[in-house]
Structure 1
Amino acid sequence: MTSAPITPVLITCDWGTSALRAYLMAADGQVLASRASGQGIMALGGASFPEVLAAIAGDWAREHGPLPVLLSGMVGSRQGWMEAPYARCPAGLPDLAATIAEVPGQPGFGPIAIVPGVLKDDDKAPDVIRGEEVEVLGALARLGISDGLFVLPGTHSKWVRVEAGRITTFATYMTGEVFAALRGHTILGRMMEEGTFSAAGFRRGVDAAAALEGPGALLGRLFSLRTLGLTGRLDGADSADMLSGLLIGAELRDASAGEPFTLVANPALAARYAEAATLLGLPHASAPEGCGPAGQHAVARAAGFI
């Protein structure tokens, strides 16, 4: 007996600075098809946002009708398609759903809206997330939990605390961007060789992070990557991964305080953070894949989009 075909009801896009991922979903959140593009908000290649959306998902709309579209990530930033005002901490699924920003209609598509992101504005310094809040909500749904500390590593690594299903606070670490800047634009990068991942170099960096003491210690330790190379005590093939281990290890030590956390990341990046956490003796787990689209589906349902 042939089962009835599953009807698509929603298109979602995770639209970041350098990449775009689109999903075609069923009513229950099942991802029926997905596509990826390098046309992030800062890499449109001269095209407009409506043109890029039509290129990646227009045929889905033509085949299945004018489906609603939910966008999340930096597409809602000041540099994106349209600035979506932030929801304020504490913020949960109902708060995000209630403040989605509607985008002017586009031919061939149903209603289009952007998830707002979250603002933490306390006495120390403001902080913001766009896109990661959706992944956290997806992790809650996939894991069947409502509390925890979640880590979303990347260019700007996010540490997000959730209580009773609401994001109560978070912190940003510029670990990925600092790594790229140091490797590509400082004297440290001059001695780094391209090559495969060096597990020994990475472990050495994490060990160096474990020995850091006091404010400013990381800044002093960074220069040792050059001097170790100059004195023949660090191979150029190990240097980049030692830098990676040092920065990730420093982040983990500062942010976790020994509390268990859950990694929400692509497998390669999650593996680095998990290895560093293991070396530092920090309890951790990894969320299942697909947290992004799971969170988008949850927001769409809560907002009455589907």
Structure 2
Amino acid sequence: METSTRVPNPFAKRVIVVDWGTTSLRCMLVEPDGEIARETESSRGIRFIADRAFEPELMNALSSWFDEFGNLPVIALGMITSRNGWIEVPYVRCPATASDLADGIIQRRLPNGADLYFLPGITDTTRQPFPDVMRGEETQILGFGLDKEATIVLPGTHSKWAKVGQNRILGFQTFVTGEIFALMSEHSFIAKAAAKSEGIDWESYDRGVRVAENATAGDAAFLTQLFSVRTGMLANELKSEEMQDYVSGLLIGLEFRQARDCGWMKAGDSVGIVGNDGLNDRYRRAAAIFDLVTVDGGEHAAIAGALEIFASVKARSDAA
């Protein structure tokens, strides 16, 4: 795919960034001037690679670029560096700088001689009862920027809220909002009752967010609010075609409410929203309902962040 999008590229040469997650494989060719000249995406996530044949899978995905441009360096991030991936790269502890993340890189070489750099994830050991973790989202945070104090939201299956400042990722917290939505919409009473609708029913979505925001006392209980999907239907207040987007709004609204209760934000604050998985519009609308100002982190923040980490490696190499 051709694109004119540009990201800051600290190198005077081409580089390949590979974002390899559980369900997808995304490869981007970045020009010396930062233009993302080519991009490919497939459903060949790590869960679909038999017998851990990651190396031949990657070589096949990048073969045409190697043939055309030579043995370009490859930067790999995401779940490919997890316990279930190619190489498990240990987490770097928060607070973490780009240089700290560069210290955690594991370097290998591909069969054609190209250098391959596996980026680490990060862990927040202050979370209870166990340390929180992220792998891949840290590059999006870096791409957003660490120079000013800010709260950043990263929508996804496992949504993250992070604090940055002083050129560091200071800490973060995970909310499994997307996974709960998948379970509720596919394996609960909602799956039997809900009807699919064309497009997004924003009125029903906003209604769910506001229910989560405005509930008081016992009615604000998480498990009670989930049951409101069924009681709304029984009371003829929710139509079957409204249920899916109402649930989406309810869950994202609950995430925002709990993030507020946990001190990640308050009314009137500004928050960054970073991601490219189709959820950003939903999170922007929820933020507005919670009286927050949003800043767009950009679709390609992960690439910019990966290049920033790799820049630290290159700077040390040049100085040696």
For 2:63 and 2:178, locate their aligned partners in 1 and report how far apart those are by CA, in whole Å: 33
In structure 1, which of residues 253, 257, 267 is the aligned counterpart of residue 265 of structure 2?
257
Count of residues in Structure 1 that have an aligned counterpart in Structure 2: 297
Residues 26 and 42, structure 2, Cα contact 8 Å, conserved in 1: yes
Shift of 1:148: 1.2
Residues 8 and 64, structure 1, Cα contact 8 Å, conserved in 2: no
For 1:123 and 1:147, locate their aligned partners in 2 and report how far apart those are by CA, in whole Å: 20
Partner SS, residue 89 of structure 2:
coil
- 1:1-306 equivalences under 5 Å are 8-44=13-49, 48-103=53-108, 105-122=109-126, 124=128, 125-140=130-145, 145-196=147-198, 197-213=200-216, 217-255=221-259, 256-258=264-266, 259-266=269-276, 268-304=278-314
Shift of 1:289: 2.3
For 1:14 and 1:290, locate their aligned partners in 2 and report how far apart those are by CA, in whole Å: 11
Structure 1, gaps ≥5 residues long = 1-5
Q: What's the CA shift string for 1:182-224, capped at 9, x where partnerless?
A: 1111112211111221111101101110123468712101111
**Amino acid of the residue matched to residue 114 of structure 2?**
G
Shift of 1:44: 2.4
Residues 140 and 275, structure 2, Cα contact 8 Å, conserved in 1: no
Point out the more displaced range, 178-187 or 287-296. 287-296
Q: What's the CA shift string for 1:6-53, capped at 9, x where partnerless?
A: 985211101111111111122343322111111111122667111221
Residues 101 and 113, structure 1, Cα contact 8 Å, conserved in 2: yes
TM-score, L = length of structure 1: 0.91
For 1:172 and 1:267, locate their aligned partners in 2 and report how far apart those are by CA, in whole Å: 17
The match for 2:5 is none
Residues 140 and 302, structure 2, Cα contact 8 Å, conserved in 1: yes
Please give the root-mean-square deviation of Cα atoms over the aligned residues, in Å: 2.1
Point out the more displaced range, 295-304 or 259-268. 259-268
For 1:45 and 1:34, locate their aligned partners in 2 and report how far apart those are by CA, in whole Å: 24
For 2:312 and 2:294, locate their aligned partners in 1 and report how far apart those are by CA, in whole Å: 30
For 1:175 and 1:98, locate their aligned partners in 2 and report how far apart those are by CA, in whole Å: 32
Detail structure 1 runs of 4+ shifted over 4 Å in the superposition: none
The match for 1:3 is none
**Amino acid of the residue matched to residue 23 of structure 1?**
M
For 1:30 and 1:221, locate their aligned partners in 2 and report how far apart those are by CA, in whole Å: 46
TM-score, L = length of structure 2: 0.87
Structure 2, gaps ≥5 residues long = 1-10
Q: What's the CA shift string for 1:144-187, capped at 9, x where partnerless?
A: x4431111000000111111111110000000000000111111
For 1:106 and 1:227, locate their aligned partners in 2 and report how far apart those are by CA, in whole Å: 57
For 2:88 and 2:26, locate their aligned partners in 1 and report how far apart those are by CA, in whole Å: 19
Shift of 1:266: 2.0
Point out the more displaced range, 116-125 or 159-168. 116-125
Shift of 1:254: 1.8
**Amino acid of the residue matched to residue 160 of structure 1?**
A
